[in-house]
Structure 1
Amino acid sequence: MSMSSKVDRGMFEQDENIADSPRREKFVPQRTFGTAAERARRNLNAKLSNPLAGFSHAELRRQGRKFALTHEIGDDEDVRAFELGAVLAQSPEQYANVAGLTSQEKEILRQEFANRWSQPWSMEWVSTSWRLPTSLLFLPKAKIEDFGRIADPGLPGKQIDETVVNGAQIWYKHQFGIAGERSRDTWLVGLINAAPYLCCAFIGCWLTVPFNHWFGRRGTIFLTCCFSAIACLWQGFVSTWWAMFVARFALGFGIGPKSATVPVYAAETAPPAIRGALVMQWQMWTAFGIMLGYAADLIFYQVSDPPGIVGLNWRLMMASAMFPALVVCCFVFACPESPRWYMRNKQYYRAYQSICTLRHHKIQAARDLYYMHTLLEAETSMKLGQNKLLELITVPRNRRAMVASEIVMFMQQFCGVNVIAYYSSEIFLEANFEPASALAASLGWGVINWLFAIPAIYTIDTFGRRNLLLTTFPLMSLAMFFTGFSFWIPETHHTARTSCIALGTYLFGVVYSPGEGPVPFTYSAEAYPLYVRSYGMALATATTWFFNFVLGVTWPSLRNAFTAQGGFAWYAGWCIVGWWLVLLFMPETKNKTLEELDQVFSVPTRFHAAYGLRQIPYFFKRYLLRRDVRPEILYEKEEVVVAGDAGYNA
């Protein structure tokens, strides 16, 4: 059946044939199709979901051969690979039904599905070498507040307890003259801390599209690493608070485009079977970078000032974050460029060479490359004549994806995680930890944050994105309340007080890492349809960095106004708000094709919100009262065909 004969479902009817079960709604075809532009917009995602649907194997072989010969890709063996690859691209899992494959080729394709983690060394190298250094690249800088000596030996001890920022800031804020309790000082400290994310939100992330267009994925990574290295070195030489602000603001030119480019590169080079898991590893290695940032606290804790240099320890720490950037710059061009980027620039043979290094066999490379080609052709042929950013708002399917993406990106910050990540050492100092113990406790939180992100590689595609968040948000709220309320334990009970505060932050890390940690980037990368995905990801990353900035700049003053108890309770309350937002407005996306996602996001918001509310009594009946009730199914997977509607086929 032709993909263009499938209909965007958007209206509902009651299924009266299911007795003694929760109300079950399913889609029926829309009979009113609107204007030609509206029909084209509705049909756009269906065509992008599989532009090869409906072709015979003979026709696909002819197309594959023509593609290889037209673009002069390889020899006879490569032409054969494209003939078979075009057939496989239509339904990769149906490889057993493709005539002409050798037994060895069928075994390679079988292993692709049976053992999805068995990849060429080049794929594993690209997967780890890019994400690990680039995650470390900005995270130690983002956490650079943790670096350096905890206290100036010449400062009175009471000033340590009065500080509201972490690590190196405790040192340089005195040197910069912003160490007082005045409102101006606390806001300046917060502004310096959050400066990179201000740049990311309003400038950096929006450079992603032009940078990738001009320089490619590798070039963008190289350029942003250069920005990061220069900014890191710059931070080590400043002598005023405004110079530190400017240096850290410049850091955003590296963080913003890089944070959007690396997940896109992973999605474009990874095999389909493990694409979701590889994309979410960005967040896992981000957590690893946080952990190493805390480890650096302890490594440089004892650095002392030589004659003539003030604050050598925090200066070295600020500048040391340039080394991951330099490492990436050295080997980034040893990795293959994104085949999709080569295809965008009509460099077909180079695209084929690139993807051949990332697959076990030429058949797999030809299959994936030809499918990229058909998708790009479909995207190019479908120009609706409207600004892509406006498409995010004006098209209901896109708008619902945007709302869900913005919710998870907003809540990734306003769950309060970076209160702990940025100011953990100061929080532990306020809890009467010794300076070295505060750094060690921060390192412990970093280790937990990383270790508990690893299981998400598997749970994100099994348990589901929405279920992970609905499970972990209440637990994050409890952990935040527990941490804040632990500050009420009298200081006379020192052991109990410090243990409870540390335990609360650790428990928060345990439940944050597999949930709100990895889900937002993965969800945002898959929720948008292909033709607006780059713009959607730019908006998503700008959102998370903006609210990162808001959290970083406001926490010092918030803690002063609310006390530690009130500050943690504030973010505990936001976790509760986040739970309701996810329940009402965030559809599940796990294990769904693009066409199925179009169906999911075609559900009107009011219907999905009502469905979410009905899930609450279902949960209590099923899991607490142990009743045998069946779950409600909001959207069906079966295809709906409108016979004879030639006007809908675009």
Structure 2
Amino acid sequence: MQAKDPHSPFGGLATEPRTENFEHATDRKNEFVPQRVFGTAAERARRNLNAKLANPLAGYSHEELRRQGINFAITNQIGDEDDIRAFAIGAMLAQAPEKFESVPGLTAQELEVLRHEFEHRWSQPWTMYLVIGLCSLSAAVQGMDETVVNGAQIFYKHQFGIENELISRHNWISGLVNSAPYLCCALIGCWLTVPFNSWFGRRGTIFITCIFSAITCLWQGFVNTWWHLFIARFALGFGIGPKSATVPVYAAETAPPAIRGALVMQWQMWTAFGIMFGYAADLAFFQVPDSSGITGLNWRLMLGSAMFPAVIVCCFVFTCPESPRWYMSRKLYDRAYQSMCSLRFNKVQAARDMYYMYTLLEAENAMKLGQNKLLELINVPRNRRAMIASEIVMFMQQFCGVNVLAYYSSEIFLQSASEHAKLTTSFQRKALTASLGWGLINWLFAIPAVYTIDTFGRRNLLLSTFPLMALSMFFTGFSFWIPEATGNNARLGCTALGTYLFGVFYSVGEGPVPFTYSAEAYPLYVRSYGMALATATTWLFNFVLAITWPSLRTAFKPQGAFSWYAGWCIFGWWLILMFMPETKGKTLEELDQVFSVSTRFHAKYGLRQIPYFFKRYVLRQPVQPEILYERDDSSANLADVGFNTV
């Protein structure tokens, strides 16, 4: 029973499931088989091209692939006879890398290298480890740039005369200074990613952004007015914005397939490490006394300390190879091959990965459909659903309230003390130590996320952790009702406990999921535009959160301010339940299927999961889960004739 759909989504597999499945769910075990649709000529073109991106080498024989590899190497004058042979075999391997045993022409040594690659995926050439170190340290630069201000603001606010929380203007100025880099990221920085990468390459962009970070961090240590500090921190956004988009791309383009996902995921983990290191620097310089002619030497050293990891990155970034894909986008195939060879043990591995990149680039270049790609994000239903889900998780990454803790935790802990105690050196040290503890937890619990995100699933992680994050926020806010008479340590302890619990649940869920989800949800031909939008969204709301917190805390009191973000966690849970499909373990073709289910139907499906969960896990009834998608093997070649399937 098939029906045409005038609003057929591109690239995707389906429309509404058959209604009789819903009516007779118990007879069919709730297995929904989607309908097939034709769509317009433009939609069929997009579907065919997008399907081709899923595996551009599918359907070719080994002999055809061998000839293609040889022609590619000869045409582009890559290497000698040994290299031409490598591309002949590499093209065959690229079709299905895991089936290397069936590829003819491999030597015993090459077979051993390929077996070792799949059995010991973290055994890589030293150059690959150098790249991993570069990406990890660049992420740490990012985290440290964000959090050294946490402890510094305890001191510079008094020096600049903006410390009075009862004066609204002081609160807004404090928030503006703190949030200045993220305003720059949202308005300018993120949008410089494309031209910077085009002009300077991946390594060049990382170098330039770290130069920006180092100079502006040093600059922050020499300011003497709040508006001067605002300008310096605004300039820091030119380092944060393009770097946050470029480093994960560089990691993905240089890593072998077996560790690509794990390496890209480590951006979040090492950013969390940098956040922790920023707190450590605040604590280390806390008691540095002023010297002759220098007022506030401690907070100046705190802000300036973030320049050192950036300088280290600048010193060795060019010892790493450039991204082979960037060279290929410039038609520099010989240099791309040299770069790839330095990142792999054997030439056949390098030729395999390079030839697959080449075929993907050719398929992407063929997507000249005449429509603005930003409009494609909105006008094409499949893309629009991916954009909605991506924007939800990116928005909630900020409005769950995490960066309130990242940027203001030291002040929050000081708020738990009496007016007298918060001015004492001992309690200020306790507040900075408590911030360091939060940073340590945020980093440590980001490590298992590398495993859980691909086993437990993106959607399940968020649905499980958001209620716990809300409870942690409520607990943190309500801790401020502990009477001061019971002792400052009791209130500080409960406040710290609430923030620590929030950090645990955030680090395994909403911390790693948004960037991973946004990077995989969009089809390749609009992915760079979708990621630019996603990155700009997270920095924009990062700015909103950072600038409003001082005023929000004063107006609502800590109890109400934390409850405000707890409420957003609850609201975000409902958005995720209804509008965020699961993407774990899906190929590009399968993601087209996922995002082709109508928004209305997926929302209803999400709501139906609530009674299912209650019956199965609370009442312990033997109910069967509803299967939203069912693989339809008969549709395997429908993309070639312009059909959609779910």
TM over 0.5: yes
Deviates further, 408-417 or 313-322: 313-322
Picking from 117, 137, 140, the partner of 1:136 is 140
Measured after TM superposition, the shift of residue 19 of structure 1 is 4.4
- Aligned in 2, Cα 1:576/1:342: closer, same or farther, shift over 3 Å? same
The code of the aligned residue for 2:498 comes to G
Aligned residue for 1:498, secondary structure, equals helix
Measured after TM superposition, the shift of residue 636 of structure 1 is 2.5
User: What CA deviation, in whole Å up to 9, does each residue of 1:547-584 have, x standing for no partner?
Assistant: 11001000000000000000110001111111111111
- RMSD, matched Cα: 1.9
Measured after TM superposition, the shift of residue 643 of structure 1 is 8.1
User: What CA deviation, in whole Å up to 9, does each residue of 1:132-168 have, x standing for no partner?
Assistant: 221222322211222xxxxxxxxxxxxxxxxxxxx22
> Is the aligned partner of 1:340 residue 2:334?
no
> Is the aligned partner of 1:299 residue 2:288?
no
CA distance in 2, matches of 1:352, 1:242: 49
CA distance in 1, matches of 2:614, 2:259: 35
Picking from 334, 346, 352, the partner of 1:361 is 346
| 1:468 equivalent in structure 2 | 461
Picking from 96, 104, 121, the partner of 2:101 is 96
Measured after TM superposition, the shift of residue 387 of structure 1 is 1.5
CA distance in 2, matches of 1:221, 1:645: 39
- Aligned in 2, Cα 1:362/1:638: closer, same or farther, shift over 3 Å? farther
Count of residue pairs brought into register by the alignment: 622
> Is the aligned partner of 1:386 residue 2:371?
yes
1:305-324 equivalences under 5 Å are: 305-324=290-309
C-alpha contact 1:21 1:630 (8 A) present in aligned 2:
no
Measured after TM superposition, the shift of residue 507 of structure 1 is 0.6
User: What CA deviation, in whole Å up to 9, does each residue of 1:501-520 have, x standing for no partner?
Assistant: 11111111111111111111
- Aligned in 2, Cα 1:368/1:645: closer, same or farther, shift over 3 Å? closer
Measured after TM superposition, the shift of residue 122 of structure 1 is 1.8
> Is the aligned partner of 1:437 residue 2:430?
yes
| 2:472 equivalent in structure 1 | 479
Deviates further, 301-310 or 107-116: 107-116
CA distance in 2, matches of 1:39, 1:553: 46
> Is the aligned partner of 1:531 residue 2:525?
yes
C-alpha contact 2:141 2:271 (8 A) present in aligned 1:
no
CA distance in 2, matches of 1:646, 1:515: 38
> Is the aligned partner of 1:520 residue 2:506?
no
> Is the aligned partner of 1:498 residue 2:492?
yes
C-alpha contact 1:11 1:29 (8 A) present in aligned 2:
no
The code of the aligned residue for 1:482 comes to F
| 1:154 equivalent in structure 2 | none
1:121-520 equivalences under 5 Å are: 121-127=126-132, 129-146=133-150, 167-180=151-164, 181-432=166-417, 434-494=427-487, 495-520=489-514
Measured after TM superposition, the shift of residue 41 of structure 1 is 2.0
User: What CA deviation, in whole Å up to 9, does each residue of 1:86-144 have, x standing for no partner?
Assistant: 111111122122122233323322333333222222212211x2222212223222112
Deviates further, 318-327 or 182-191: 318-327
| 1:551 equivalent in structure 2 | 545
> Is the aligned partner of 1:110 residue 2:103?
no
Aligned residue for 2:485, secondary structure, equals coil
CA distance in 2, matches of 1:290, 1:247: 20
CA distance in 2, matches of 1:207, 1:242: 25
- Aligned in 2, Cα 1:613/1:644: closer, same or farther, shift over 3 Å? closer
> Is the aligned partner of 1:38 residue 2:43?
yes
CA distance in 2, matches of 1:587, 1:116: 29
CA distance in 2, matches of 1:119, 1:287: 25
User: What CA deviation, in whole Å up to 9, does each residue of 1:435-486 have, x standing for no partner?
Assistant: 1111111111111100000000111111111111111101101111111111
C-alpha contact 1:340 1:351 (8 A) present in aligned 2:
yes
CA distance in 1, matches of 2:576, 2:144: 30
Measured after TM superposition, the shift of residue 207 of structure 1 is 0.6
Measured after TM superposition, the shift of residue 18 of structure 1 is 6.9
- Aligned in 2, Cα 1:542/1:643: closer, same or farther, shift over 3 Å? closer
C-alpha contact 1:283 1:518 (8 A) present in aligned 2:
yes
- Aligned in 2, Cα 1:25/1:593: closer, same or farther, shift over 3 Å? same
Measured after TM superposition, the shift of residue 311 of structure 1 is 1.2
| 1:120 equivalent in structure 2 | 125
Picking from 595, 603, 609, the partner of 1:609 is 603
Gaps spanning 5+ residues in structure 2: where? 1-10
C-alpha contact 1:62 1:83 (8 A) present in aligned 2:
yes
Measured after TM superposition, the shift of residue 274 of structure 1 is 2.1
CA distance in 1, matches of 2:629, 2:464: 22
Aligned residue for 1:12, secondary structure, equals coil
Aligned residue for 2:35, secondary structure, equals strand
The code of the aligned residue for 1:384 comes to L
Gaps spanning 5+ residues in structure 1: where? 1-5, 147-166
CA distance in 2, matches of 1:254, 1:646: 45
CA distance in 2, matches of 1:297, 1:525: 34
CA distance in 2, matches of 1:121, 1:461: 27
CA distance in 2, matches of 1:42, 1:436: 59
Aligned residue for 1:572, secondary structure, equals helix
C-alpha contact 1:63 1:83 (8 A) present in aligned 2:
yes
Q: TM-score, normalised by structure 1?
A: 0.92
Measured after TM superposition, the shift of residue 617 of structure 1 is 1.5
- Aligned in 2, Cα 1:84/1:15: closer, same or farther, shift over 3 Å? farther
Measured after TM superposition, the shift of residue 26 of structure 1 is 2.1
CA distance in 2, matches of 1:314, 1:182: 23
C-alpha contact 2:12 2:596 (8 A) present in aligned 1:
no
| 2:564 equivalent in structure 1 | 570
The code of the aligned residue for 2:94 comes to A
Deviates further, 410-419 or 356-365: 356-365
CA distance in 1, matches of 2:613, 2:155: 51
CA distance in 2, matches of 1:447, 1:248: 25
Q: TM-score, normalised by structure 2?
A: 0.93
C-alpha contact 1:25 1:634 (8 A) present in aligned 2:
yes
- Aligned in 2, Cα 1:580/1:644: closer, same or farther, shift over 3 Å? closer
CA distance in 2, matches of 1:406, 1:56: 41
C-alpha contact 1:7 1:641 (8 A) present in aligned 2:
no
1:573-588 equivalences under 5 Å are: 573-588=567-582
| 2:5 equivalent in structure 1 | none
The code of the aligned residue for 1:481 comes to F
C-alpha contact 1:217 1:341 (8 A) present in aligned 2:
yes
Measured after TM superposition, the shift of residue 344 of structure 1 is 0.1
CA distance in 1, matches of 2:212, 2:634: 51
C-alpha contact 1:171 1:311 (8 A) present in aligned 2:
yes
C-alpha contact 1:8 1:43 (8 A) present in aligned 2:
no
CA distance in 1, matches of 2:235, 2:186: 12
| 1:633 equivalent in structure 2 | 627
C-alpha contact 1:28 1:640 (8 A) present in aligned 2:
no
- Aligned in 2, Cα 1:107/1:233: closer, same or farther, shift over 3 Å? same
